[in-house]
Structure 1
Amino acid sequence: MLKHLSRYTFALIGLTILFGSCKKEYESIQSVDAQKIKDYIKANNITAVEDPDKTGFYYQIIPGTGTDTTKYKYTDSVLYNGVVKSLANGSTYLTTSSVANLGTLVGYTEKFTASLTIPAIRTVLTKMKRGDAVRIFLPSYLAFGKNGSGDIPSNENIDLVITTYADKNQTALDERLIQKFITDKGLTGMTRDGSGVYYSVSAAGTRPDSTTNFSTITTTYTGRLIDGTVFDSNTDVSFSLSPGSVIDGWTKTIPGKIGVGGKMRMLIPSALGYKTTGSGTISPNSILDFDIEITARKN
């Protein structure tokens, strides 16, 4: 009996040592992360605030120019984007598109990507107002953890920059960004269609009035995001202009505007493009910039 007891006792002691060492290792990561973040904040003279729940992150709010001084509530809609950088060397690991956003209710903003939850975002947003930005200094165990993700290495402390838009809805944001794009690029002759698409016709072509939603057009086109990224380009490809066959921006804008040989440019708000889902390399809520020429038409 004594012999058996000794074996059980030694096994119990072994397990105690094992779990104790794991706990110490986990606690040491927290301690190391905390010190690195504190050292970074001090070395860069950053005025940062500690997480009110003391889970381990710090944040610095950067006031925006919005006129709304009311702070976000969980039930408010928020439009924002994010940039993930290394705290150690400033490398950018992940960024949302410069014009897309992660729009949702504040209460759901902890879902940063499909596979990453960052509750710190929700916590900090309730300290902010529309148009503000914030830097969140995240210890690795509140970010990508010991496994990392893609180019993000194991146990990497993160400098997460969240920028909110002053606009209260996507329609208003798209309108403002399109108008800014037109001004910044010095575009002339742009007309706002009733649907919200801005367009200019450089060549009307033959019988524009014969181009209808029942037409099938053969086109040469280039599609870009408003940061200049080309996401698609084709020559002599045919499309029906009937609703559901192409994006709504084409269906609502092209008919009656240009005929065969006609050329136009369209700036399409996200609701008439790929909406909140995106498509392939096109991020959700992206504004689209198209150059299009009709080379043939069938009615």
Structure 2
Amino acid sequence: MKNFTKLSLFTFLLATILFTSCKKEYESIQSVDESAIQAYIKRNNLTFTKDPSGYYYNVLTPGAGADLKNSDSVFYSFTFKSLNGQILNQSSDVMIPGTFLGYTDRFTINSSPFDFVPVREVLSKLKRGGTATVIIPSNMAFGKNGIPSLGVESNENIRVDLGIYTQSTRHEIDELEIDNFLKANSLTAIRDLSRVRYIVTQQGTGVDPISSSSTLSVNYTGRLLSGSVFDATEGTASSLPLSGTIKGWDILRNFKAGTKVRIFIPSDLGYGPAGNGTIPGNAVLDFDIEIVSVTN
């Protein structure tokens, strides 16, 4: 019985030591994170508020309008950086992310899902047009594994610059994405009443009018605004009934055979929120099209 009692006591003490050492190791990571973040703030003469959970935030521009609820749709920007300024991951101003405010903590990075609660909580402090910065301790970010392929070291603290766009609807964001793309590429396009933008690079000389019942022989290349090609005829013209194409292609009724035109199609006139294959939902589409011939 005495031997059993001694063994039980030894087991209990061993478990206590192991638990305490693990706890101290975890606390030491928090302590290292805290010291590094405090040093970064002091070195750069910044002003941040510490959340009770451990992250730091600074609301730069509160924004305007009504307070946002988790069920509200928002379009937002993000830039993940290391504290030395290296950009690790960021959103694009020509493919602007949007979701419900309550889902803005969800990210896919290198095909892996991540939840960053501080991002959602800080965005929730903003109104439309607001901007903020959050510093996330490593234990709330990518942890001890990091993401070496992106340059995220083990136990690295992360800075995230955040913003909520003033636009509140998909139509407005589509217009902004197209505007941003045209400006970035020094392009000037005509805006049709349908909201499709177009640039004619060669006027056609055909005589047959194009209607919704026409069949067109066309060469085309379809891209996302990121430049990614999702479909192309690759030199062999395709025969397509205009009525069987996406709504944005109705703009071709304004042209004649022989026309070469570049068109930018808002998402609702393309594949909408569902997308199609490699085309993501709510994607603005960029087509180069040559109308080879028209059959009525």
For the criterion TM > 0.5, the same-fold answer is yes
Residues 1:288 and 2:288 aligned together: no
Letter in 2 for 1:84: F
User: Which stretch shows the higher mean deviation, 109-118 or 267-276?
Assistant: 267-276
Alignment of 1:95-244 (within 5 A): 95-113=90-108, 115-149=113-147, 150-151=149-150, 152-179=152-179, 181-182=181-182, 187-188=187-188, 190-194=190-194, 196-201=195-200, 202-207=202-207, 209-210=209-210, 212=212, 215=215, 217-221=217-221, 223=223, 225=225, 229-232=227-230, 234-238=234-238, 240-241=240-241
Residue 221 of structure 1 and its aligned partner are, at CA, apart by: 2.8
SS across alignment from 2:107: coil
Contact 1:193 1:199 in 2 (8 A): no
In the alignment, what sits opposite 2:254? Answer: 257
Residue 19 of structure 1 and its aligned partner are, at CA, apart by: 1.5
Structure 1 residues 36 and 294: CA distance shift in structure 2, 3 A: same
Residue 235 of structure 1 and its aligned partner are, at CA, apart by: 2.9
Contact 1:81 1:100 in 2 (8 A): no
In the alignment, what sits opposite 2:82? Answer: 86
Structure 2: segments with no counterpart, 5+ residues: none
Alignment of 1:15-94 (within 5 A): 15-51=15-51, 54-63=52-61, 68-87=64-83, 89-94=84-89
Contact 1:147 1:153 in 2 (8 A): yes
Letter in 1 for 2:88: Y
Residue 35 of structure 1 and its aligned partner are, at CA, apart by: 1.4
Residue 270 of structure 1 and its aligned partner are, at CA, apart by: 2.6
Residue 192 of structure 1 and its aligned partner are, at CA, apart by: 1.6
SS across alignment from 1:160: strand
Letter in 1 for 2:23: K
Q: Distance in 1 between matches of 2:74 and 2:223?
A: 28
Q: Distance in 1 between matches of 2:287 and 2:79?
A: 27
Residue 43 of structure 1 and its aligned partner are, at CA, apart by: 0.7
Structure 1 residues 297 and 131: CA distance shift in structure 2, 3 A: same
Q: Distance in 1 between matches of 2:224 and 2:15?
A: 59
Q: Distance in 2 between matches of 1:34 and 1:86?
A: 15
Tell me the matched-pair count: 288
Residue 120 of structure 1 and its aligned partner are, at CA, apart by: 1.2
In the alignment, what sits opposite 1:5? Answer: 5
Residue 83 of structure 1 and its aligned partner are, at CA, apart by: 1.5
Structure 1 residues 218 and 169: CA distance shift in structure 2, 3 A: same
Letter in 2 for 1:161: D
Compute the TM-score of the two structures, normalised by the length of structure 2: 0.83
Structure 1 residues 18 and 261: CA distance shift in structure 2, 3 A: same
